[in-house]
Amino acid sequence: MEFEQAWLDYSRKCSCEGTDGIEAVFVGIADDRQDILIKNSVAELQRAFVGLFGRELAVHTGAPVGDGICLALREGMQAEAYHIYEDGGKISIEASDSRGILYGVFALLRHMQTENSLRGLNLTKAPVMPMRMLDHWDNMDGSIERGYSGKSFFFEDNEILVNDRTVTYARLAASVGINAVVINNVNVKDAATWLITERYTDKVRALSEVFAGYGIKMYLCLNYAAPMELGELASADPLAEEVRGWWKKQMAFVFREVPNLGGFLIKADSEGRPGPFTYGRTHADGANMLAEAVAPYGGKIIWRCFVYNCQQDWRDEKTDRARSGYDNFIGLDGTFLDNVILQIKNGPMDFQVREPVHPLFGGLTKTNQMLEVQIAQEYTGQQRHVCYLIPMFREILAFHTYVAKECDTVEDIVCGRTFGQKNCGMAAVANTGNDENWTGHDMAAANWYGFGRLAFEPELSAEEIAREWIRLTFGREEQVEETLLYILMTSWRAYENYNAPLGIGWMVNPNEHYGPSVDGYEYSRWGTYHRADHLGIGVDRSGAGTGYALLYREPNASIYNDKERCPDKLLLFFHHMPYTWKLKSGKTVIQHIYDTHFEGVEMVDEMVERFRKLQGKLPKKPYQRMLERFLHQKEHAREWRDQINTYFYRKSGIADERGRKIY
């Protein structure tokens, strides 16, 4: 398929000083340490040089003779780290393991494509987060839950696919440092039940070996009730001996058959999925039982904290879904085994365009934690709107939890700096599918690229990451770069502007989660309300309300709890406010709603206007594909603007100060 190489497309000729003399790869690595990763590293260099420079690289084993790229293993470096340096025309890539070599190769290629020279190159990088994971919500029938880029490339008609596309996927993921991939949907039981059985082991192993070649551990989602469905046990009680025995036996089987398996991801006791609650057991009981079963094989259990009552009565103002993750897990802090990791969504609700940071970050102090974000743009435009999420992720990572005097940000926690943990990191719900360009919207690929880069090097700015992605994907033409950069860097703010205001979220059409519906979730069972009436809007989560604000450490708790100090952008999440309330910006809430919604549309108009000027400067097919989506976004942003403004104008009766058209 065309465009299938995404940012690894080597067909555009590259100009980079210092590459001319490079004619060979010297593999200075003992034969017995030349594993498949080293082979794939060399092959990647060869492939790239043919494409970028029209030159076949020779491969030599042993000490270098003349200019070339030298690969060498060196003791004493951090795992997965690499050191690249130029010395008199010779380029060395050194690492203490073959994964580091592979990352070094991709880093070198990235440098050649995005910069002008190799002269004086001297780069040492170690991945900052131990786990950098993609979670796919692919189903065995080939569909993808919340997939906006076509069908699955892992599954089709209940079979596992292992083919060229799998290899390209693994290369793309590895090139940005991804080292763990969950292939099946955490929300659906079929694959989660059957992938650990004999029926699928051959293909599961084959797929895991493709990943292994690129330093990626494969993970599976697991059905907590598997002992009942597969083992014909009467229970899945984590404290029952026969259940524990069943899991141990089953795990011995699975890890023998699939040695590259990293472990399992589990959603238990949430949104209808089974779990330990059924047996009066805790999440820790459930997770630890599985952790014991996988420990002999170095396996990990990743346990989702997305647990809440999804049968809430909208009339009930006491129950607060935002509290539920915290309330369910905080009491279990310190009771999980070391190979258990809690996977915590960035916010307490569900991947809205704006949420406060999840209070479990900073709450938990003795538990391995992983930050879960969603690059599948479920609530952020479904890859029909452009919405570059890296700026949002950086804000989340930079959030001070005040759990410690130093190293107290979310980034510190999930990098292991706060508590010295190793089993931690960041996971993203993936945005890929079988569409030619992988992500539906060509620009959505920046989120995939960016997520990996950010997890590897969180010190990179969103803009730096965006520039890299643009250069790798579309070359170094200045207008292209500046235009696409402008669009990416504007997009999240634009989307937030025309979406639900001031952190309240959820004004989407039920189920599909696309397009505006202000009351779409207002009278439903999902715990997602805005409580707007003719005088005001927002949920009182202060101490006088549900108390959610007080779950944070000080000074966050006091700030959020106080409507005068709460940041504007989260005000309606924490407080029910009159439309006439003056924000810190000096605007009233209602005027803020009107202004941001008009501004959001203007921002999209500007994005599209600039984009149109790239006609002829971008390849025709991606240009057309993007243009079509931009035109839809233009219209759909107006739909958001008009529905939301109209809703609040009709409800409040307060006119726009500037007299613009509201229906």
What is the phi-psi region of residue 517: left when phi exceeds 0, alpha when psi lies from -120 to 50, beta otherwise?
A: beta
Q: Is the dihedral of CA 451, 454, 460, 461 positive or negative?
A: positive
Does the annotation mark 292 as catalytic?
Answer: no
Does the annotation mark 159 as catalytic?
Answer: no
Question: Quick check: 58 and 52 in contact, CB under 8 A?
Answer: no
Closer CB to its own copies, 242 or 523, in the complex:
523
Closer CB to its own copies, 234 or 655, in the complex:
655
660 binds its own copies (CB under 8 A): no
CB of 140 to its own copies, least distance (A): 23
Applying CB under 8 A, the span of 449-457, 460-468, 538-546, 649-657 interacting with its own copies comes to 649-657
Q: With residue 274 as reference, give the H or E element that holds it.
A: none
527 binds its own copies (CB under 8 A): no
Closer CB to its own copies, 532 or 603, in the complex:
532
Question: Quick check: 281 and 239 in contact, CB under 8 A?
Answer: yes
Q: Which position among 56, 198, 202, 271 bears the catalytic label?
A: 271
Closer CB to its own copies, 358 or 384, in the complex:
384
Q: Which of residues 295-354 bind its own copies (CB under 8 A)?
A: 314-315
Does the annotation mark 378 as catalytic?
Answer: yes
Question: Quick check: 184 and 139 in contact, CB under 8 A?
Answer: yes
Question: How many other CB atoms are there within 10 angstroms of residue 627's CB atom?
Answer: 16
Cα separation, 213 vs 81, in Å, equals 17
Q: Which residues contact 395 (CB under 8 A, 6 or more apart)?
A: none
Which member of 85, 400, 651, 656 binds its own copies (CB under 8 A)?
A: 651
Closer CB to its own copies, 534 or 582, in the complex:
534
646 binds its own copies (CB under 8 A): yes
Applying CB under 8 A, the span of 156-164, 441-449, 462-470, 531-539 interacting with its own copies comes to 531-539
3-state helix, strand, coil in the chain (%, to 5): 40, 15, 45
582 binds its own copies (CB under 8 A): no
Looking from the CA of 237 toward its CB, the CA atoms found within 13 Å total 8
Q: With residue 26 as reference, give the H or E element that holds it.
A: strand 24-28
553 binds its own copies (CB under 8 A): no
634 binds its own copies (CB under 8 A): no
Question: Quick check: 155 and 191 in contact, CB under 8 A?
Answer: yes
Beta 425-429 vs 300-304: how paired, if at all?
unpaired
Can you tell me which residue has the tokens 């897990």? 329
For 610, counting Cβ atoms within 10 Å of its Cβ (0-12 exposed, 13-18 middle, 19+ buried), the class is middle
Which member of 535, 544, 631, 655 binds its own copies (CB under 8 A)?
A: 535
650 binds its own copies (CB under 8 A): yes
CB of 556 to its own copies, least distance (A): 31
419 binds its own copies (CB under 8 A): no
Hey, what amino acid is at 346?
N
Cα separation, 647 vs 645, in Å, equals 5
631 binds its own copies (CB under 8 A): no
Number of residues that bind its own copies (CB under 8 A): 24
633 binds its own copies (CB under 8 A): no
Q: Which position among 138, 378, 435, 540 bears the catalytic label?
A: 378
| Angle separating helix axes 164-175 and 198-212, nearest 10 degrees | 50
Q: With residue 94 as reference, give the H or E element that holds it.
A: strand 90-95
CB of 481 to its own copies, least distance (A): 38
CB of 631 to its own copies, least distance (A): 17
Cα separation, 171 vs 93, in Å, equals 18
Applying CB under 8 A, the span of 40-48, 219-227, 265-273, 533-541 interacting with its own copies comes to 533-541
508 binds its own copies (CB under 8 A): no
Closer CB to its own copies, 509 or 615, in the complex:
509
Cα separation, 284 vs 334, in Å, equals 9
533 binds its own copies (CB under 8 A): yes
Q: Which position among 94, 97, 350, 496 bears the catalytic label?
A: 350
Applying CB under 8 A, the span of 27-35, 457-465, 511-519, 618-626 interacting with its own copies comes to 511-519
Closer CB to its own copies, 409 or 652, in the complex:
652
CB of 607 to its own copies, least distance (A): 23
Q: Per-residue DSSP letters for 278-308?
A: GGT--HHHHHHHHHHHHGGGT-EEEEE----
620 binds its own copies (CB under 8 A): no
Which member of 117, 143, 335, 517 binds its own copies (CB under 8 A)?
A: 517
End-to-end CA distance of the chain: 46
Q: Per-residue DSSP letters for 164-205?
A: HHHHHHHHHHHHTT--EEE-S-TT-HHHHHHTTSHHHHHHHH
CB of 519 to its own copies, least distance (A): 5
Closer CB to its own copies, 278 or 646, in the complex:
646
Applying CB under 8 A, the span of 169-177, 465-473, 490-498, 641-649 interacting with its own copies comes to 641-649
Return the C-alpha torsion angle 557, 559, 563, 566, nearest 10: -110
422 binds its own copies (CB under 8 A): no
SS3 label, residue 103: helix
> Which residues are catalytically annotated?
271, 350, 378
Binding site residues, its own copies, CB under 8 A: 314-315, 509-510, 516-519, 523, 532-535, 639, 642-643, 646-647, 649-653, 663
